[in-house]
A and B are shown apart, each in its own frame.
Chain A
Amino acid sequence: MLKSMYEWLDKRIDITPMWRDVADHEVPEHVNPAHHFSAFIYCFGGLTFFIVVIQILSGMFLTMYYVPDIENAWKSVHYLQNEIAFGQIVRGMHHWGASVSIVMLFLHTLRVFFTGSYKHPREFNWVIGMLLFFVMLGLGFTGYLLPWDNKAYFATKVGIEIAASVPIIGDAAASFLQGGEVVGAQTLARFFALHVFFLPGILLALLGAHFFLIRKQGISGPL
């Protein structure tokens, strides 16, 4: 049944080569943890992606209850955490997943650095990876404000003050982040937009480029 459905589609739109492109390539022994246990260090990149997928899924569920306005933001988080079935688990996954993804990303960066994998011909993919790192930090910074508790509010206030102290571009950066005279309704709205639309969009585009280049160039050889 499934097979005939697949064949029906394949005859018309020829999907086999699409997934074969992704699926059919040899993975070398030196990155395979089944052959060398120490090769688990090559798993950090994949694990970062895995946690990012968890973040996207849990975040999608959180937006079913979250209300990005200063009257209701905290209340909606409080409600979803205490009243909704599995709300605490979903918020817990998103909250702790943020830290775990930073840790995994950090370990992945260190693996690439210490194995010298950023060298010719993979310079460009290293740069994309660093941009991914900044986007992830941006996601962490914008997401921190959204629960709208004291910790979130005052950390963001200090963060914006620090941004404002940068010469030349500081004031522009601070007013871009803050959106108004004080850290308030406009700040929350734009942090929500950045956290949920802009930054994930950039993240996915960069991830696509990252994976495309890995596929194109292959994994760096053994040391």
Chain B
Amino acid sequence: MAHNHDGKDKEVHYVGDSRVPQNKKKLYPKDYSEYPGNTEPFFPNFLLKEWMVAVVVLVGFLALVMAEEPPLGEQADPTNTGFLPVPDWYFLFLYQLLKFKWASGPFVVVGTVIVPGIAFTALLLAPWLDRSKERRPFKRPVATSLMLISLVAIAILTWEAEDEHEKQLASLPKGSSEEDVKIVDQNDPAYEIYKNQACVNCHGEQLEGITGPPLKGIGDAYSAEQIQHIMDTGKGQMPAGMFQGTPEEKRKLAEWLTKQKTGKPKSTEH
């Protein structure tokens, strides 16, 4: 406790140099009395109300955390050539921009530098580009409409990227090439149908895949109807109408193929 020169115990406030007692009143910023209405102190009154909003958000957030397990795919394997890369969702619109013809290949600089550069520079410099005193959005049509157009563009690009990614995922081969997955029920008469058709030439005698993708474990991904549909219409490199047996044989073969299961829990990757 500080002592004054007269020897009495009394609180003293110092500024910077502890030999100089503070004698000036603190300068507090002016309050909001210029705005008519109910102002209230930040602490604790207003902060309590903000905390109540935060609690509502927190409950929703924790419900999401409880409901959805955070995804963790297979350990990274740099030699995996079939993996479809996808950025986190908030980068999708920038990623999709690079798929336009005028923003890829020789013009990739348009997609990587020019368009995002202009957009983000404009955003960064917004206070100097929009210098009027007016603050209401409807009174500044240029700024407001530019932002709305950008928002729509971001939404469309994000949706397109997601949609394209889903379609690419769906077109990936679903069979398993892993060693420990074996052909199921090779004595089934359907296997003879398989061998006598063109199937075996590309998909292999043990369904291991030669020029075509493997069919081991294909029953995890497709139903018999879906497999018949692929036989009829083709998929990827596979042309339509490759199966030339009777409809009865086709049905038997499709049903046998649905029995090809890996017996493993379904991968949650992608």
Residues of A bordering B, CB below 8 Å: 11-12, 14, 17, 21-30, 32-35, 40, 43, 46-47, 50-51, 54, 70, 74-75, 77-78, 81, 88-89, 91-100, 102, 110, 113-120, 122-123, 126-127, 130, 137, 140-141, 144, 147-155, 157-159, 162, 165-167, 182-184, 215-216, 218, 220-223
Contacts and interface: CB of A to CB of B under 8 A. Distances in A.
A33 B120 CA distance: 31
A167 B90 contact: no
Contact of A89 (B66, B86, B113, B151): B66
A100 to B, nearest CB: 6
Nearest to A131: B124
A23 B113 contact: no
Given A11-B1, A158-B85, A151 B270 contact: yes
Contact of A150 (B33, B49, B89, B269): B269
Contact of A115 (B38, B73, B135): B135
A37 B44 CA distance: 20
Given A26-B32, A154-B85, A148 B65 contact: no
Given A17-B26, A77-B72, A126-B127, A116 B42 contact: no
Nearest to B132: A119
Nearest to B126: A118
B209 to A, nearest CB: 20
B236 interface: no
Contact of A116 (B39, B57, B69, B140): B140
B29 A216 contact: yes
B37 interface: yes
Contact of A114 (B39, B65, B84, B137): B137
B37 to A, nearest CB: 3
A159 B62 CA distance: 31
B31 A26 contact: yes
14 contacts: A21-B26, A23-B43, A26-B33, A35-B37, A70-B76, A100-B61, A123-B128, A126-B126, A141-B88, A151-B83, A151-B86, A153-B78, A159-B87, A182-B78
B136 A30 contact: no
A155 B70 contact: no
A96 B53 contact: no
B75 interface: yes
Which residue, of B43, B45, B144, has the highest number of chain A Cβ atoms within 10 A?
A: B43
B123 interface: yes
A144 B88 contact: yes
Nearest to A162: B112
A165 B112 contact: yes
Interface string B151-173: 10000000000000000000000
A155 B88 CA distance: 8
A113 B50 contact: no
B74 interface: yes
B50 A43 contact: yes
B81 to A, nearest CB: 10
Interface residues of B, number: 80
B46 interface: yes
A43 B37 CA distance: 19
Given A81-B70, A114-B137, A167-B113, A25 B31 contact: yes
A140 to B, nearest CB: 6
A71 B105 CA distance: 36
Contacts of B179: none
Nearest to B134: A116
B69 A92 contact: yes
A155 B86 contact: yes
Interface string B65-107: 1101111111111101001111111110001001000000000
B53 A43 contact: yes
Contacts of A30: 35, 37
B28 A118 contact: no
B115 interface: no
B134 A25 contact: no
B180 interface: no
B155 to A, nearest CB: 12
A119 B133 contact: yes
B130 interface: yes
B11 interface: yes
Contacts of B151: 110
B17 interface: no
B54 interface: yes
